[in-house]
Structure 1
Amino acid sequence: MSEQVMLRVVLGRENPMRVRWRATDGAPGDGYKAQVTALVLPDGTRIAMHGSSVLEQAQPVDDDGEFAVTFTGMIGYAPEHADYEAVEKLSDTDVDYEIEFVHEDGHTAGADAFDVVERPRATATNLANPGS
């Protein structure tokens, strides 16, 4: 019988995503919140994330509108979950991610609101299968 899989996903402060903010109606941490919406596995499989699955943080890097974005999360997948089979096979895997910036009024920042300066991959670890 299959058991629930716990997946840890991390983009740490030693290698954050960096964005240069252009929007004038707020900034990350001041009206906008970074939100990871999906993980993309190396084979292209897209795994949608619930809004509360991942804790994101954005810190200013300089006075020129650059921010460092990091995140961490723990997501449980039961055997009947649609993404269980893909997640169960993971060990320590570099993954891509989809991220958006959501304003406190609910609208999402458009493509012209920020420029991605650096976008490293995050690490996803199946805690039942780490490093295998």
Structure 2
Amino acid sequence: MWNAGLITTEKCNSWRADLLYLLNKQVLSQFEFQFRKPNGEQIGGLCQVVKNDGSISIDDDSGGNDFYNLPSNTHVSLLAILDTEAHNYNEANEELEKRGWGNNGKKLTGASNSHGSYSKDGYGLNIKKFGEW
């Protein structure tokens, strides 16, 4: 997304830091990169479901996302979905508020396709791709 000019270096680094913080606190259950046209119409996105129970043990080939073909001025947002039952949930939620996160996001809906699974050291991601892009 950064290479395609959809997000700035600052945004890329900020999102990376926030996601790593949530993973470290063990509260992140999934996150979504959502894409909208400049007029607000949803294009689609990538939903990444996080597992830390060793249930994902495969590594698919990475890539396959053509961010360059998205319309110019596509708006990208990040939605993080936290495990409200996690031990560190309240602490992490308070920290996200300090970092400027809000509670107004909505999950992607509609048809999706499996877009791969990745794992390392008992952690894994299942990725679903929404929309035709």
Q: Scaled by the length of structure 2, what TM-score is found? A: 0.28
Q: Which has the higher strand share?
A: 1
Q: Which has the higher helix share?
A: 2
Structure whose CA Rg is larger: 1
Flag the structure with more relative contact order, 1 or 2, with Cα contacts below 8 A and sequence separation at least 6: 1
